Amino acid sequence: MSKYWSPIVHRLTPYVPGEQPKMMQLIKLNTNENPYPPSPKVLAALEAEASGQLKLYPDPNADLLKQAIADYYQVSPQSVFVGNGSDEVLAHTFCGLLKHDRPILFPDITYSFYPVFCQLYEIESTIIPLTEDFKIRVDDYLQPNGGIIFPNPNAPTGCLLPLDEIARLAANTDAVVVIDEAYVDFGGETAIQLIDQFPNLLIIQTFSKARSLAGLRVGFAVGNPVLIEGLERVKNSFNSYPLGRLAIAGAVAAFADRAYFEKTRDAVIASREWLTQQLESLGFTVLPSAANFVFARHPQRDAPELAAALRERRIIVRHFKQPRIDQFLRISVGNDEECQALVAALQEIVALVPSA
């Protein structure tokens, strides 16, 4: 039946998301979900919105949400774009802002949806290797390009590029620079504060991680209104109603409860630091993380075997087969009980598994 496919479909290698297993009583540390529930204010807002409004279309512009984001970051609503998860925002960005004559640049170890979008939209790319210690080096990107994109903190490494280096990058390229800040709240400083200085800078964030709303699918971008207008033109040529009423109401409420956000964010950071110390005491090398996950390897233990042994104990982590990182495990930060169970399991496994 594939004869009915468009030619481009045959060439696609789709993105593979983290496993969403159906097993019960599972410690799930593979998809970087927040271990804490959304704010109670979010749940109240969802209940109120569901009481009688779902028969009506949502606001196609999501003006209440754009205003909430604008107020939070002290920018104008015209500088805000919203979409169905940050992946949709990224897709519109690739289509509307990164498809030019020159190739775009992104790291060799990064979010694996980027090359998929390049395939889908037929965008040429040049892959820039991370340094030996898995860092982004701005000087490597100071070359002719059709755009630059990378996560900050990077994924799956968790390593953070300082804000002054992002400014230096934006100042030294004429193309769009896209900073994917899915994890920035866990240890970074958002580059949104730089958008007035650099009209070529676009910042993309998500409600899935620090706001505990992965199930609602809400993402947004902040940048110069000219960039935002480009995204709006793509969005309105694709789906006029990307965010439903529940998503809009829940996201607005999440931004309104700053105290709850700070409490749960701080809890994740504290657990990450404890987990890092425990892993290092077991002999793991752990990259410095500013995200809600850690990226770790054991010099004498095989990563796929470690992941399999954890799975036998009903603990799931993420392993990538990609060169340079095939001996690393990406471990989402769970709550205290989940982190303790992980460490206890690894203590047993490291003691039992023979050296690779």
Residues in the chain: 356
User: Domains along the chain?
Assistant: 20-37+259-352 (3.90.1150.10), 51-256 (3.40.640.10)
**The predicted structure's pLDDT at residue 353:** 47
Per-residue pLDDT for the chain (356 aa), expressed as one digit of tens each? 588 878 888 887 886 776 677 666 799 999 999 999 999 999 999 999 998 788 899 999 999 999 999 999 999 999 999 999 999 999 999 999 999 999 999 999 999 999 999 999 999 999 999 999 999 999 999 999 999 999 999 999 999 999 999 999 999 999 999 999 999 999 999 999 999 999 999 999 999 999 999 999 999 999 999 999 999 999 999 999 999 999 999 999 999 999 999 999 999 999 999 999 999 999 999 999 999 999 999 999 999 999 999 999 999 999 999 999 999 999 999 999 999 999 999 999 998 745 44
**The predicted structure's pLDDT at residue 18:** 66
Contacts 24+ apart (CB under 8 A), 59-67: 59/248, 60/236, 60/240, 60/241, 62/243, 62/248, 64/248, 64/252, 65/218, 65/220, 65/243, 65/248, 65/251, 65/252
**The predicted structure's pLDDT at residue 148:** 98
